[in-house]
């Protein structure tokens, strides 16, 4: 908090302002979380938070999604990026919320946020059903379930800088290839997703046997190849940890499957 107060904690007025900033960051992030729960803005065209890198405003129709803090005139903005598990229940969506001063760019906010939250949503009714949901607080099925995966102030989000898939199957992998990820900010427990672009959407496939090694790299087994996926398909690789989610970037992806 020292960087936000710019003075010692003995300065009560600045310390109170910092406390208010934290409180407002919680409030505006919670507002964004609840909006995304009931308004899935993942679309193939127009405004979309789907795999947004850098992230975009958490609600459409505005260049920002912000809240003005009374008294000390601090304006905070929340930026969003989402993974979509199309056709797969629990969860159907994972959204990363990055909150910063409104003077900070979306890319800079995602890499060094004041507050970053990762929230899981399930849009399907218990017991299965159609792979669609209806919107609204009353009778809607979007956001029928929600779980906060992480809520961290001043985190160091993960970033993937390289992917290595040797092309072989080795323990602990049984039916899919093993892989190694290089980057920064990796912490346990990590979750790794391979993101594939379809005709009208992106789909996330979770890797298995994922762990962070002593050298700070992530190892694991590729997901099972989706039915009908073309040979040599390029997938983006995304890492989610308790401190956030790495940016969506095909440049650090991997040509995979079968």
Band of the pLDDT at 129, cuts 50, 70, 90? low
Q: How far apart are CA 238 and CA 189, in angstroms?
A: 14
Closest CA to 204 of 46, 39, 93, 38: 93
**Sign of the alpha-carbon torsion through 67, 242, 254, 85:** negative
Rounded mean pLDDT, 3-19: 50
For the chain, the DSSP string reads -HHHHSS-TT-HHHHHHHHHHHHHHHHHHHHHHHHHHH-----SSSS--BT-SS-EESSSSSS--EEEETTTTEEEEEEEEEEE-TT--S-SEEEEEEEEETTS-HHHHHHS-SEEEEEEEE-S-TT---S----STTT--TTSEEEEEEEEES----EEEEEE--S---TT-SSS-EEEEEEE---SSPEEEEEEE-SS-EEEEE-EEEEE-TTS-EEEEPPPPPTTPPTTEEEEEEEEETTEEPPP-GGG-EEE--
| Same domain? 246 vs 146 | no
Please give the pLDDT value at position 210. 93
| Residues 109 and 55 both lie in one domain | yes
Domain check: are 242 and 133 in the same one? no
Confidence of residue 4 (pLDDT cuts 50, 70, 90): very low
**Domain boundary at 153, 176, 206, which?**
153
Q: Choose one of 153, 188, 220: the last residue of a domain.
A: 153
* Residue found under tokens 């912000």: 66
pTM: 0.72
Do 97 and 66 share a structural domain? yes
Looking at 121, 153, 185, which one is the last position of a domain? 153
Q: How far apart are CA 60 and CA 46, in angstroms?
A: 9
Whether the pLDDT of residue 95 is over 60: the answer is: yes
pLDDT in tens, 186-211: 988 888 988 887 655 677 888 999 99
Say whether pLDDT at 5 is over 60.
no
Residues 114 and 14 in one domain: yes
**Based on the domain organization, do 251 and 176 belong to the same domain?**
yes
Give the domain range for residue 168: 159-256
| Same domain, residue pair 39 and 141 | yes
Q: What is the CATH number of the domain that holds 229?
A: 2.60.40
Number of structural domains found in the chain: 2
Domain co-membership, 163 together with 149: no
Domain match, 141 and 175 both: no
Query: Are both 135 and 45 inside the same structural domain?
Result: yes
Cis bond before residue 106 (omega within 30° of 0) = no
**Domain identity same for 184 and 207:** yes
Top-confidence residue, 160 or 5: 160
Write out the two tokens for 238.
């995304």
Lowest-confidence range among 137-146, 156-165, 219-228?
137-146
- 250 with 175, same domain: the answer is yes
């Amino acid at each position: 908090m020292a960087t936000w107060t710019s003075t010692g904690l003995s300065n009560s007025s600045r310390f109170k302002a910092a406390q208010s900033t934290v409180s407002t960051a919680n409030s505006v992030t919670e507002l964004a979380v609840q909006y995304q729960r009931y308004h899935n803005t993942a679309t193939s065209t127009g405004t979309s938070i789907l795999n947004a890198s850098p992230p975009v405003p958490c609600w459409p129709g505005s260049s920002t999604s912000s809240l003005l803090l009374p008294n000390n005139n601090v304006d905070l903005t929340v930026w969003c990026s989402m993974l979509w598990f199309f056709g797969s229940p629990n969860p159907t969506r994972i959204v990363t919320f990055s909150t910063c001063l409104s003077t900070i760019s979306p890319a800079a906010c995602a890499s060094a946020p004041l507050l970053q939250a990762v929230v899981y949503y399930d849009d399907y009714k218990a017991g299965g059903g159609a792979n669609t949901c209806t919107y609204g607080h009353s009778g809607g099925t979007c956001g029928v379930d929600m779980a906060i995966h992480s809520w961290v102030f001043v985190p160091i989000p993960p970033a993937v800088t390289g992917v290595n898939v040797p092309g072989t199957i080795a323990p602990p992998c049984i039916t899919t290839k093993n892989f190694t990820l290089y980057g920064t900010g990796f912490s346990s427990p990590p979750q790794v997703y391979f993101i594939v672009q379809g005709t009208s959407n992106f789909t996330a496939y979770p890797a298995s046997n994922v762990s962070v090694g002593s050298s700070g790299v992530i190892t694991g087994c590729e997901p099972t190849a989706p039915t009908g996926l073309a040979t040599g398909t390029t997938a983006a690789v995304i890492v989610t940890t308790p401190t956030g989610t790495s940016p969506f970037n095909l440049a650090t992806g991997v040509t995979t499957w079968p």
